[in-house]
């Protein structure tokens, strides 16, 4: 290979890396501006109470079965797995502590966030994406209705407020799942199990999980609205926006979960 060909090959590699880097910063900047604009409209009146209530019902009430089932079986599996591991060391009495700690700190918020990302994030992206490609959002602007006020702010408010409530219910159901398996399958004393769970549970465990849930709700709603609002290219663009909304929300949920865990429990 001649020196000129080698130089061109190296230049093409650096050009590709540079284009990817610039594209990444462009997307990040666009998302940041969208987020700031959305938060600005979310915090300032006027509001649309009927739209907010509708989104709250859709996110909160209709998502309760899937979150409840997910956390129930997560608690049951956690109890079984803890027993199989702790039995080797004679530490079966620690199972209530492990179950309630795992559910309230991690499994409840993360599983609920991922379930809501799959159900609500995809629905938001599909709905807003369809409105974008059929020019309904442009029609709102023509009618002097701010799309951020009318479409995005209600979804963000509902996501931030409803996901902590879902996680709180999911925590109770998940701990109940661990209780059912421990008492009726593993032979634990019911009163002792409940007492150990209550004694080990602290306010910070529940509070950190609820803060995570609020952050996850914001992420899911933001990603669903962003990808739907920015979609283009007809039905194929709407499908891509739906997929991107779920994938990016899921990744950001896991990343923010680590960061919030470090912030709460790094001491």
Say what the pLDDT of residue 244 is: 92
pLDDT at 96 over 90: no
pLDDT at 110 over 70: yes
pLDDT band at 186 (very low <50, low <70, confident <90, very high): confident
pLDDT band at 15 (very low <50, low <70, confident <90, very high): confident
Q: Cis ω on the peptide bond leading into residue 154 (within 30° of 0)?
A: no
Say what the pLDDT of residue 253 is: 95
Say what the pLDDT of residue 1 is: 57
Backbone CA torsion sign across 160, 164, 169, 171: positive
DSSP string, 154-219: HHHHHHHHHHHHHHHHHHHHHHHHHHHHHHHTS---HHHHHHHHHHH--HHHHHHHHHHHHHHHHH
pLDDT in tens, 232-267: 878 888 888 999 999 999 999 999 999 999 998 876
pLDDT at 27 over 70: yes
pLDDT band at 159 (very low <50, low <70, confident <90, very high): very high
pLDDT band at 179 (very low <50, low <70, confident <90, very high): very high
What is the gyration radius of the CA atoms in the chain, in angstroms?
Answer: 23
User: Do 152 and 145 touch, CB atoms closer than 8 A?
Assistant: no
Say what the pLDDT of residue 266 is: 75
**Which residues are CB-neighbours of 265 under 8 A, at least 6 positions away?**
208
- Tell me the mean pLDDT in the region 47-61: 92
N- to C-terminal Cα separation, the chain = 57
Say what the pLDDT of residue 56 is: 93
Per the prediction, the chain carries an average pLDDT of 89
* Angle, in degrees to the nearest 10, between helices 3-43 and 203-229: 110
* Angle, in degrees to the nearest 10, between helices 64-86 and 153-184: 40
Domain boundaries, the chain: 35-265
Nearest 10 degrees: Cα torsion 121, 127, 129, 133: 180
pLDDT at 83 over 70: yes
Say what the pLDDT of residue 23 is: 81
> Would you state the structure tokens that stand for residue 53, as one six-digit string?
């209530």
**Which residues are CB-neighbours of 25 under 8 A, at least 6 positions away?**
none
Say what the pLDDT of residue 252 is: 95
pLDDT band at 52 (very low <50, low <70, confident <90, very high): very high
Return d(Cα 5, Cα 16) in angstroms, integer. 17
Say what the pLDDT of residue 255 is: 95
């Amino acid at each position: 290979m001649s020196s000129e060909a080698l130089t061109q090959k190296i230049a093409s590699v650096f050009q590709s890396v540079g284009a990817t880097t610039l594209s990444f910063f462009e997307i990040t900047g666009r998302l940041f501006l969208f987020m700031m604009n959305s938060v600005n409209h979310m915090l300032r009146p006027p509001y649309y109470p009927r739209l907010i209530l509708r989104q709250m019902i859709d996110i909160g009430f209709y998502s309760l079965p899937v979150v409840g089932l997910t956390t129930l079986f997560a608690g049951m599996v956690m109890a079984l797995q803890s027993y199989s591991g702790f039995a080797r060391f004679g530490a079966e009495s620690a199972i209530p502590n492990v179950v309630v700690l795992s559910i309230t700190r991690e499994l409840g918020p993360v599983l609920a966030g991922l379930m809501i990302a799959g159900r609500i994030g995809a629905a938001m992206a599909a709905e807003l994406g369809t409105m974008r490609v059929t020019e309904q959002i442009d029609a709102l602007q023509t009618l002097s209705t701010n799309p951020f006020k009318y479409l995005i702010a209600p979804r963000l408010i509902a996501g931030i407020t409803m996901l902590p409530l879902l996680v709180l219910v999911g925590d109770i159901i998940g701990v109940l799942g661990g209780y059912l398996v421990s008492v009726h399958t593993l032979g634990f004393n019911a009163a002792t199990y409940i007492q150990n769970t209550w004694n080990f549970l602290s306010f910070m465990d529940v509070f950190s999980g609820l803060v995570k849930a609020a952050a996850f709700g914001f992420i899911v709603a933001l990603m669903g609205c962003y990808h739907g609002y920015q979609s283009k290219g007809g039905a194929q663009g709407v499908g891509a926006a739906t997929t991107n909304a779920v994938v990016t929300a899921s990744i950001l949920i896991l990343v923010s979960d680590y960061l919030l865990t470090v912030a709460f429990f790094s001491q």
